[in-house]
Amino acid sequence: MKILAFDTSLNKTYISLLTDDVISSKIFITDEKNYHSAYLITGIKGILDTNNTKFPDIDLIAVNKGPGSFTGIRAGVAVAKTMAKELNKNVVGINSLDILYKTYENLNPEVILDARKEMFYFRVNDKIELIPYSEISKHITKNHIICDTSSHTRLKTFLDKLNTDIKAQNKTPGNCLTLINFEDENINLSEALIKIAKSRFETLKNNDYDSFLWHNLNPMYIQPPPIHGK
């Protein structure tokens, strides 16, 4: 099975290709002139050429459908839908928080992303909820928290105080909370994207084939994009 996966919704452009259970990847970092999604088309072509794979050889296309960068989500989903339609291929969208959870699943973490407007995206029982900053402490029940840079900045002071209180109450160190900024780590998110997509396709394709059709792939903005006045 050959799976092409790409993610332009978060901090970099991640592209991976699964062929014969081997994953090949490319990662592009944005610069001051371009969004990282600007590298998507050339990156896809490059990874296919490197692996001697043609577009018709692909069995499944997987994309991060958000939440995240509005421009990145729009670019990734548009490319995935167009490819799936023109090549008559299956396509599946996976949300950002599921991808991050899969990447760090050995920690069984909370996953939190900054949603702006004093809100956070929060992964609850495999679903995404919008939680106000003022209420985030009520929802954290695990020791490890995976987040982005903005959330890390917002949450660090709060967690430092909470951990100080835990130590002052002579609770065990295992009760302390650890905040992990995924953007500071050298990880390839598209590998987790491929693993989730492969698992869902293999387990659901006979019962829910329609969910893999291109016209059922929709971006997950959660909040509407900002409107800028002139």
Instruction: Encode pLDDT of 188-203 as tens digits.
Output: 999 999 999 999 988 8
Q: Which helix (DSSP H) or strand (DSSP E) does residue 178 occupy?
A: strand 178-181
CA separation (Å) from 195 to 2, 8, 22, 172?
12, 17, 11, 35
For 151-180, give one letter per residue: b (16+ CB within 10 A) or e.
bbebbeeebeebbeebeeeeeeeeeebebb
Q: Are strands 110-116 and 144-147 parallel, antiparallel or unpaired?
A: parallel
Domain 3-95+188-216 sits in which CATH superfamily? ATPase, nucleotide binding domain (3.30.420.40)
Quick one: how far is CA 150 from the chain centroid? Answer: 16
Which residue intervals of the chain are DSSP H helices? 40-50, 70-87, 96-103, 149-168, 189-204
Phi, then psi, of 76 in degrees rounded to 5: -65, -45
Q: What is the mean pLDDT of residues 180-187?
A: 93
The pLDDT, as a whole number, for residue 170 is 57
Q: What band does 27 get if pLDDT is binned at 50, 70 and 90?
A: very high
Least confident of 55-69, 70-84, 107-121, 128-142: 128-142
Phi, then psi, of 10 in degrees rounded to 5: -110, -135
75: how many CB neighbours lie within 10 A of its CB?
A: 22
| Amino acid sitting at position 186 | N
CA distance 42 to 63: 16
The pLDDT, as a whole number, for residue 134 is 87
The pLDDT, as a whole number, for residue 226 is 46
For the chain, domain boundaries: 3-95+188-216, 99-184
Residue 136 has pLDDT above 50, yes or no: yes
Average per-residue pLDDT for the chain: 87
The pLDDT, as a whole number, for residue 155 is 87
* Percent of the chain whose predicted confidence (pLDDT) is above 90: 63
CA distance 93 to 80: 9
Pairwise pLDDT comparison (99 vs 168), residue with the higher score: 99
Which of 60, 73, 79 has its CA nearest to residue 213? 60
Q: What is the mean pLDDT of residues 78-83?
A: 96
Q: What band does 167 get if pLDDT is binned at 50, 70 and 90?
A: low
Least confident of 43-47, 156-160, 196-200: 156-160
Instruction: Encode pLDDT of 58-72 as tens digits.
Output: 999 999 999 998 889
The pLDDT, as a whole number, for residue 93 is 96
Residue 117 has pLDDT above 90, yes or no: no
